Amino acid sequence: MARDARLAVALLKETIAHGTEDQSIASPDFITYDEFVARTPYSLETDNVRVEGDQTEAKVMDESRNMVHTTRRHLQLELSIRPELAPSLKADESQ
């Protein structure tokens, strides 16, 4: 088994050496790597756009959460100042 592994490694080294010496032979691995290198800037830009979109969405959600919290505080303050509004609000909620 170890002998087979050594033979496979030797054949792989020979194939790689032959592929790098002879530029007329296009290795699929080298093409894939070149394509990967060419696509990387596009992928990074796409990822940056997604991240910016997610950050914008998170900011909007945070602002909405703050607005709801502020509105609740104002309503509680209004109800503490004008308690006569509380029963009418509860009647409206039950309908």
Is 30 inside any structural domain?
yes
User: Is the separation of the CB atoms in 11 and 3 below 8 Å?
Assistant: no
pTM above 0.75, yes or no: no
Residues with Cβ within 8 Å of residue 18, at least 6 apart in sequence: 25
SS3 state of residue 27: coil
In a domain, 42, yes or no: yes
The single residue listed with the structure tokens 């309503």 is: 75
Structural domain boundaries, residue 83: 26-94
13 falls within a domain: no
pLDDT, one tens digit per residue, over 7-46 is 888 888 887 776 655 555 555 556 577 777 788 888 889 9
Instruction: Answer yes or no: is 19 within a domain.
Output: no
Into how many domains does the chain fold?
1
Question: Is residue 90 in some structural domain?
Answer: yes
